[in-house]
């Protein structure tokens, strides 16, 4: 998951978007208060689809 977040945020923080990166579906929200860090509100490891 850490590598997926690094890839998703390398060109800025994509707030309020559900992204699929490196086999993970993630969504990041901004911090509630100034000085706090953004929050990952959704992280799901995607499995392989059966064919």
Q: Residue written as tokens 């977040």?
A: 5
Does the pLDDT of residue 7 top 80, yes or no? yes
Structure tokens at 33: 């208060």
Does the pLDDT of residue 49 top 90, yes or no? no
The C-alpha atoms of residue 6 and residue 46 are separated, in whole angstroms, by 17
Structural domain spans, the chain: 2-45
Radius of gyration of the chain (CA): 12
pLDDT range class, residue 50, cuts 50, 70, 90: low
pLDDT range class, residue 6, cuts 50, 70, 90: very high
Q: Which residue has the higher pLDDT, 39 or 51?
A: 39
């Amino acid at each position: 998951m850490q590598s997926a977040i690094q890839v998703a945020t390398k060109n800025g923080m994509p707030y309020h978007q559900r992204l699929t990166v490196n086999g993970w579906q993630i969504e990041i929200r901004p911090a509630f208060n100034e000085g706090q860090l953004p929050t990952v509100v959704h992280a799901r490891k995607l499995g392989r689809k059966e064919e």
